[in-house]
Amino acid sequence: MAHTISMITNYIKFALIFFCFIISLSHKKNISTTVRNIQVTALFLTVVSDFFLVIVNWERIGIFVFIFVQICYSIRLRIKRHLFLIYPIIFTALFLILNETLIILALFYGFLFLTNYIYAWKNFIHQKFLSINSYLILIGLSLFLLCDISVAMYNMHHLNIDFSDDFLHFLRYSIWIFYIPSQFLLSISSRKFRSKPKQPTY
């Protein structure tokens, strides 16, 4: 019974992420066609990754696909080209130092995410995008980051780091409490919002 409820819950979670992808397709007005296509691609890959992570439980493939999600956000956030040259070097170094594929993928994914998050803050401070969209990207990625921190902490019990059952229970819920809103905000972050009309000065 518990297994059946867990499966139904996972399908509901996956359906909500798929719904965010549909939302990204539905915008008639976007900042630009390029930004819209990048965001749609990122959310499509997110759906694919969640299928492997949530539905079929293939962690390595899921994290591998999530790496390309972060690369999409790197492109959208206009990260400098020389950093893209560093990415394969870092990945190769991790591969040579570590033997565990899952840890290599997770660390490389984390590096990409933190780089994107730093650039999201830089873009927000310098207002490189329309102000509302800058807020949406920054808040969306912040919630996304909190989700991934919760995932990392939840999986620390594999490293013999003990947490109480109540705290682990909290982490399981917090993952999706942060994750679903993050994907919704990112799904509307490429949308072109109407600016408020200027008020008359007389």
Residue 73 has pLDDT above 60, yes or no: yes
Q: What is the count of structural domains for the chain?
A: 1
Looking at the domain assignment, is residue 55 inside a domain? yes
Span 82-121, pLDDT tens digits = 666 677 778 777 777 777 888 889 999 999 999 999 999 9
Looking at the domain assignment, is residue 196 inside a domain? no
Looking at the domain assignment, is residue 145 inside a domain? yes
Looking at the domain assignment, is residue 23 inside a domain? yes
Higher pLDDT, 160 or 169: 169
Cβ neighbours for 36, distance < 8 A, ≥ 6 positions apart: 24, 27, 30, 190
Mean pLDDT along residues 33-46: 93
Q: Is the pTM of this model over 0.85?
A: yes
Looking at the domain assignment, is residue 174 inside a domain? yes
Q: Domain of 102?
A: 2-77+86-187
Looking at the domain assignment, is residue 120 inside a domain? yes
Span 4-21, pLDDT tens digits = 888 899 999 999 999 999
Looking at the domain assignment, is residue 198 inside a domain? no
Looking at the domain assignment, is residue 193 inside a domain? no
- In this prediction, residue 201 has a pLDDT band, given cuts at 50, 70 and 90, of very low
